[in-house]
Structure 1
Amino acid sequence: MNKPASPASPKSRHQTTEALAIAIDTAFDQPVRDDSDSSPLGESESLLESTASLSSTIFNYRKVHGRTFPNFKDAEYWAPNDEKQNEGLDLHHHMTLLFHNDKLHVAPLKNPQNVLDIGTGTGIWAIDFADEYPSAIVTGTDISPIQPPWAPPNCKFELDDASLEWTFADNSFDYIHITQLIGCIEDWPKLYRQAYRCLKPGGWIEHTDFTVRVLTDDNSVPKDDPYKMWNQFFEQATEKTGRSFHLAEENKLADWLKESGFPSVQVENYRVPIGHWPAERKWKDVGLYSLAGFLQGLEGYCIFLGTEVLGWHIDELRVFFAKMRTVMTNPKVHAYYPAVTAYGQKPPVS
């Protein structure tokens, strides 16, 4: 018998075609704002009451050209944490479900009881997982308190920076989940070593991530190619920040997991289309959600990196965004970007 879902599930796992169309439409209608027209950050009273022990500075988000960014200790995160960006994260969550054949995990889990979601973002994956595995305790960690004030009783959220030393006990988790952390971690082997320590013998780690390099195989990109500039933008961002935006290339995740102690690592590689150009229905749907998430997050991907790291003027970015929107929504351009899921098991006790 199907059990009732938490309030988050209809949005996250059964988002309608109408909602997808709205996301694409609104992505075109929301220009980048200047600092002068930024409005005060709205925080719900219930959320503040539920986190009364937190320092008020946690909610005093940094602002860059009207977009808000996390302000947790010394953590630096390149993407905004405002509502517009968070909607893009949820669209990409649904996109990932689609190319994972509507599964929340690829690793062969058996009755997981203690689960950790690193960089949980809006908490959408953690909430869905808690719904699907009601006997499991799911902990989602992030540097930004953007998760909903309600959640299933077996799901909780904590403020934490995964790039620092972990305080979780040794051998405590059955499963550790990571997704969409490109550009966030300077030392991935260190993070994986901490995950290895905190996994129970026989426990699994799974990491799904992307490369922001946009590719085509059929020369369908126009002569004035905005994607070429896009790729150069993130090459420079990787060089300047020391944090890779190209995790789904050259078997990086598998190599780092093996280096960190996981003896056998499985890898699944994907090509995520931008738009509905693929012939196969599954990948056409993946492409639609990919496009919607890309359009929704486009400005947020570049605002901080462009103005604060690479020295672009905001007006230069506006022109760039317009060119990107045009090429992304051109059905004759068959563009995609790489994605990867790597998962491995800590050896069971013999």
Structure 2
Amino acid sequence: MRTGGDTMLIVRDGAYYQPNDDRQAKAGSIEHHVWLLTLNDALFLSPLQDPQRVLDVGTGTGLWAVDMGDRYPSCEIIGTDLSPTQVPYAPPNVRFEIDDCCSEWTYPENSFDLIHVRGLTGSVGNWPKFYQECMKHLRPKGYLEQLEFGIDIYTEPKETPYSDIIRSFGPLLLEAGDRMNKTFEVATHMSRMIEQAGFVDVVTKRFLWPIGPWSDDERLKELGRWNLKNWEDGMEGWVMALLTRIHGWSYQEVQNYRARLLKGVKSDEVKAWHDVLVVPFASPYTPFAD
């Protein structure tokens, strides 16, 4: 299906809301780079020493899985997504599979040292079930690591000529997700949901992503420069299906909204940012493990 020029993936009555075309793949590559800048080039924060088998759920462009394969050549990495992931330069220890993480998982139990989840906000209808699958398929000393973006945009100063348009972004996504029964309020609640699923040692780290190079801190300035590019290239794909299919907007209304919001966050009058949250090492509850 095509929506406003984008090829949309329709699986199980609209399970996925973002395009799966080359343009969105480019945006995904930029976002991967922003995550690497955020984590100081680390691919995971869990205290794993020698991972042997890793699952990357919602692998998208597959870049994280490929980087893992390059850094850990003795580790088997499986990247899954709803549509095919084709990375011609993937190392031999990396493979990609078409799979729906919201269905019953088909891997043997206790299979993985690390389950890596990034950017599934708005894609999962039953998070408790998803976390139970993670619990079931992690090895006793394995880790679940999840990284998600907060949907609310903050500004300094709080009141500007662009405040209304900037503040509208989060509520629009939240309402669309509620109508689809796929919440967009994942980042702020995932640690609680992970604990409720039975994981222990659940830690949450919060990072700031500037939108634009306005920070005096050189690292944040660089991160903001790339995140602005992330928004410029990725925003249309994030919102087009939600605003047209769920909210009933026209294609042109979405384009006008995108242009106005980007004009606001790029204004010299505005310092805009949003949060990203990471649960870096949640462990399965294994009271009798050594």
Deviations 1:36-82 (A, max 9, x none): xxxxxxxxxxxxxxxxxxxxxxxxxx211210122445562111111
CA distance in 1, matches of 2:40, 2:228: 19
2:229 is aligned with 1:292? yes
CA distance in 1, matches of 2:135, 2:88: 30
Q: What SS class does the counterpart of residue 122 from structure 2 fall into?
A: coil
Query: How far 1:325 sits from its partner (Å)?
Result: 2.1
Gap runs ≥5 in structure 2: none
2:46 is aligned with 1:110? no
CA distance in 1, matches of 2:207, 2:78: 28
1:329 pairs with 260, 266, 272, which one? 266
Deviations 1:187-212 (A, max 9, x none): 11211110110011100110000122
Query: How far 1:146 sits from its partner (Å)?
Result: 3.4
Query: How far 1:303 sits from its partner (Å)?
Result: 1.2
Identity %: 33
Alpha-carbon contact 1:272-1:286 (below 8 Å) kept: yes
CA distance in 1, matches of 2:163, 2:219: 30
2:239 is aligned with 1:302? yes
Q: What SS class does the counterpart of residue 258 from structure 2 fall into?
A: helix
2:193 is aligned with 1:218? no
User: Which residue of the partner structure matches residue 237 of structure 1?
Assistant: 176
Give the structure with higher Rg (CA): 1
User: Which residue of the partner structure matches residue 212 of structure 2?
Assistant: 275
CA distance in 2, matches of 1:73, 1:229: 29
Counterpart of 1:95, as a letter, is V
CA distance in 2, matches of 1:196, 1:175: 11
What RMSD in Å do the two structures reach over aligned CA positions?
1.6
CA distance in 1, matches of 2:184, 2:12: 23
Alpha-carbon contact 1:220-1:334 (below 8 Å) kept: no
Q: What SS class does the counterpart of residue 203 from structure 2 fall into?
A: strand
Alpha-carbon contact 1:75-1:161 (below 8 Å) kept: no
CA distance in 2, matches of 1:236, 1:346: 33
1:158 pairs with 97, 104, 119, which one? 97
CA distance in 1, matches of 2:235, 2:226: 14
User: Which residue of the partner structure matches residue 8 of structure 1?
Assistant: none
Alpha-carbon contact 2:265-2:271 (below 8 Å) kept: no
CA distance in 1, matches of 2:32, 2:97: 20
CA distance in 1, matches of 2:162, 2:222: 28
Q: What SS class does the counterpart of residue 274 from structure 2 fall into?
A: strand
Deviations 1:217-255 (A, max 9, x none): 432632563212323311321221121222222xx1111
2:279 is aligned with 1:344? no
Alpha-carbon contact 2:198-2:285 (below 8 Å) kept: no
Counterpart of 2:83, as a letter, is S
1:207 pairs with 132, 146, 149, which one? 146
1:315 pairs with 252, 272, 284, which one? 252
Q: What SS class does the counterpart of residue 225 from structure 1 fall into?
A: helix
Q: What SS class does the counterpart of residue 87 from structure 1 fall into?
A: helix
Alpha-carbon contact 2:210-2:274 (below 8 Å) kept: yes
Counterpart of 2:29, as a letter, is D
Decide whether aligned partners of structure 1 residues 224 and 335 sit closer, same or farther in structure 2, where only a CA change above 3 A counts.
closer
Q: What SS class does the counterpart of residue 111 from structure 1 fall into?
A: coil
- Under a length normalisation based on structure 1, what TM-score does the superposition of the two structures give? 0.78
User: Which residue of the partner structure matches residue 169 of structure 1?
Assistant: 108
Q: What SS class does the counterpart of residue 104 from structure 1 fall into?
A: coil
Q: What SS class does the counterpart of residue 142 from structure 2 fall into?
A: strand
User: Which residue of the partner structure matches residue 137 of structure 2?
Assistant: 198
What pairs with 1:113-192 in structure 2 (closer than 5 Å)? Answer: 113-192=52-131
CA distance in 2, matches of 1:138, 1:187: 25
- Under a length normalisation based on structure 2, what TM-score does the superposition of the two structures give? 0.94
Alpha-carbon contact 1:71-1:144 (below 8 Å) kept: no
CA distance in 1, matches of 2:38, 2:270: 21
2:201 is aligned with 1:264? yes
CA distance in 1, matches of 2:174, 2:80: 28
